[in-house]
Structure 1
Amino acid sequence: MHSYLQKLAQRRVGFQAGLVVILLLVAQAATAMDIQVRMLARGSALLEIDGKQRMLRDGNKSPEGVLLVSSDGKKAVIEVDGKRQALTLTKRIATNFTKAQKSAVRIASTHGGHYVTPGRINGMPVEFMVDTGATMIAMNYVVAERLGIDYRAGRPIKVNTANGVAQAYEVILSSVSIGDLEVQQIRAAVSSTEFPQVILLGNSYLGKVDMQVDNGVLLLQSRH
């Protein structure tokens, strides 16, 4: 009888141990996430977590539980389930640009080869697509109205769109910022049509910062 009880106890212990292992594996699977860095700036980073983009500032946590511990514009230190890891846009980028006194933003290209990044116009959050072929920042009238821009008070101009020449207005934006790269008094064109469908970050802004592409990553850097 004693031998039978001993075997029964051993089986119970083995079952409990197996159950603990299964629960641990389930917990690990539940917390496994695909995390990529899409943009880096000092004090903030754009993370792509399981396909969803999250703009975080130092000390903020995403709905998925990813904490941005710090970002210095070259790497982002994140914490998930108490474990910390340093992430960069590419393995090479952290060793190339060492002048920390200049503000810098790094933007990874999308699957289509475009550079898309969050930013601000007159302090309001927007999303830009970098367009080196655009003379100035360009947006449609719907976006301008949402941002409170009195575009009809601007200088009437003509712009080329996919549907031909359209009426537009040249305005002056008080400030445009990508990360902590802020430029003031920037020319922009507001189309009277619904094109462009995204805000184009043109040369009226790009011409005031240093720009370089390294291994598929766009580096924007202040000149001072």
Structure 2
Amino acid sequence: MTAQSANYLWAIGALVLAVSALVAQRASIGSILRSLIAWAAIIGLIVIAMTQREQIEALVTTTADRLGLGGQTVEGETVRIAMSEDGHFWARVQLNGYARRMLIDSGATVTALSQETARRAGIKVGEDGFPVVIETANGSVKAERGRVARLAIAGLETRDLSVVVSPAFGDMDVLGMNFLSRLGSWRVEGRTLVLDPRREGQHPPRDTGA
């Protein structure tokens, strides 16, 4: 059974329980119909929120960026990210439409994802060559290769970006230099990371993977 089918069954069950409760109370037909419509509307909204969660999260993320909430702001096509309390820069990123908070690390050669993030973003691994060995702060780890069809930070977007995926990353997701090098420029101004888009005539580097 798919998650969507389970959501529909849950909604139907909740509606049946609500009607049964009204019937047990011997409510009038008019009251039952009004309550039925109200419950159907509430359950419909819940089902929409469940089935369209990723699209809703993406919309909320984009709106928050435009309003300058959460330390990430958009000025024209430029994205500015304030340094967090831990001294790092964290970006709100969309991976194939899946919203995720990722650490920006210029010391990482390639973008690295947890297995859960790769699964939720629909990224297939193991089809882009042999596994690779990645050097991390905790030593060497084996990782599978994959590619993100679309990765975006607000209006900054790139496509077909190579990534590595490994259970050794835990729940950590990192944006590496293979993403930063596709930008027009990036720099740190005080406690703010500034990401500029690639301008017309600037050609992105060839992404050959890890």
TM-score, normalising length: structure 1: 0.54
1:164 is aligned to 2:186: no
**Aligned-residue offset at 1:42:** 10
Give the match for residue 93 of structure 2. 119
**Aligned-residue offset at 1:40:** 9.4
1:173 is matched with which residue: 134, 138, 148?
A: 148
Q: Percent identity?
A: 27
Give the superposed CA RMSD: 2.7
| Alignment-mate amino acid for residue 145 of structure 2 | E
SS at match of 1:152: coil
Cα deviation per residue 1:54-95 (whole Å; 9 max; x = unaligned)? x9xxxxxxxxxxxxxxx8x34xxxxxxxxxxxxxxxxxxxxx
1:140 is aligned to 2:110: no
**Aligned-residue offset at 1:190:** 0.9
SS at match of 1:149: coil
User: Conserved in 1, the CA contact under 8 Å of 2:97 and 2:121?
Assistant: no
TM-score, normalising length: structure 2: 0.58
1:213 is aligned to 2:165: no
**Aligned-residue offset at 1:162:** 4.4
SS at match of 1:158: strand
1:44 is aligned to 2:66: yes
User: Conserved in 1, the CA contact under 8 Å of 2:98 and 2:120?
Assistant: no
Cα deviation per residue 1:141-190 (whole Å; 9 max; x = unaligned)? 22212222111323221112344322211222111110110011111111
Instruction: Provide the rounded CA distance (Å) in 2 between the counterparts of 1:133 and 1:196.
Output: 19
Cα deviation per residue 1:81-136 (whole Å; 9 max; x = unaligned)? xxxxxxxxxxxxxxxxxxx5xx1100000011100121101121111110000111
Larger helix percent: 2
Matched positions, count: 137
1:186 is matched with which residue: 155, 161, 183?
A: 161
Within 5 Å, which residues of 2 pair with 1:16-165? 44-48=66-70, 73-74=74-75, 100=76, 103-155=77-129, 156-165=131-140
1:200 is aligned to 2:174: yes
Instruction: Provide the rounded CA distance (Å) in 1 between the counterparts of 2:146 and 2:198.
Output: 24
Instruction: Provide the rounded CA distance (Å) in 1 between the counterparts of 2:108 and 2:144.
Output: 15
| Alignment-mate amino acid for residue 170 of structure 1 | R
